[in-house]
Amino acid sequence: MKEEHQKIYKKLEPMKSIDIEKAEDTDELVTAMGKTAFSGRALGEALEVLWDMVNDKNCLKVLTLSGAMTMAKMGLIITQMIEKRIIDAVVSTGAIISHGFIESAGLTHFKNPGNISDEKLRELRLDRVYDTLESESNFDEADKIVTKVLEAQDTEKTLCSHVLVRELGKYLYENVKGKSIFSAAYKNNVPIFIPAFTDCEMGLDFALYNRKQKMAGRRELQFNPFLDLEKYSDMVTKAEKTGILTLGGGVPRNWAQQVAPFLDIYKYRILAGGDEKKYEAMDAKDEYYKPFWYGVRICPEPVHWGGLSGCTYSEGVSWGKFVPRSQGGKMAEVFADATIGFPVLMKALFERMEKNNIKL
């Protein structure tokens, strides 16, 4: 064998057949999967990236959520992540947070028995999300709490999603027993951002409240989504490094990721005045150079359909959203259903943290 070929062979990592009888816990199982192939390997690699991200004390850790994660009963895992300080900020669809609020308020979702037509479900005021049912009465009960919180807001101040979610979290923390995303986020000062706030039941509640205010001749509440962008950008700017864990795609993923090019064009267009020489003269590692150092995504969507919102991590490198692997960036992409991959991955991470006495 040629010498140059031998050098390449020596760098190759050998695979290993998985022995489930020797795996004493989920951590060891997922670690072993990292030496197999396909999505099993990807999940094992994702665990290693998350482990490095969690142990990086200089890293701001962001969780982005899309799909129906709270209705699919992933809410408690997210709550535990917040309590363990595994994440510092959440970016989510409004639907996930709305359904999560319902769960946080002690209301119930149901399995769809499969033998009731959608027409009949409509008559019963039961909304179907694939194999799960949400009663319209849940939304009615949630609206009562949202309205109570909105009534307590100062009409002279402008609201945004993370402020409103914090106020709702405070109410649930003080009035509803049990663990929940809202209460945990409030208690641990973890902001929850909803970029597409009007695209959910909670956003509609806000709109209806303002309609009632207008009809009664009272001042409406003001809402400015750019306050969320400024808050999030400020958190990223102050962080030495950033990492992201993404379930699905959608607006949350891209909104969270685009902070890197946003800060970069701020640097170019505003600070450098569009002057390329001034821009190039600035330190490439300054406070406005903020690509993500760590990235883990669990999403079943293949690249070629064009629905992988926020793009692959390698594509994101071209936008300046991620640090290239050649420069130390660590990324793992798992093409799988998050309701399968996410609980297994987090269980493995929790176990490893406990074995190593890691408390953030």
Domains in the chain (CATH in brackets) are 41-353 (3.40.910.10)
8 Å CB contact between 66 and 93: yes
Distance CA 297, CA 53 (A): 13
pLDDT value, residue 250: 87
**In angstroms, what CA-CA distances link 188 with 82, 147, 175, 183, 194?**
7, 24, 17, 9, 18
pLDDT value, residue 307: 66
What the block records as the tokens of 309 is 């919102």
Distance CA 79, CA 65 (A): 13
8 Å CB contact between 172 and 107: no
8 Å CB contact between 97 and 165: yes
Active-site residue among 277, 321, 347, 355? 321
126-129 and 132-135 as β-strands: parallel, antiparallel, unpaired? antiparallel
**In angstroms, what CA-CA distances link 153 with 60, 161, 219?**
30, 13, 12
Is 0.85 topped by the overall pTM? yes
Q: Report which DSSP code applies to 292.
A: B
pLDDT value, residue 286: 76
Mean pLDDT by 10 residues, the chain (360 residues): 84 94 97 97 98 97 95 96 97 94 93 97 97 96 96 96 97 93 96 96 96 97 98 97 94 95 94 90 79 95 72 88 96 95 98 93
pLDDT value, residue 1: 72
pLDDT value, residue 14: 94
Is position 321 annotated as part of the catalytic site? Answer: yes
**In angstroms, what CA-CA distances link 254 with 191, 229, 298, 308, 311?**
17, 12, 14, 10, 8
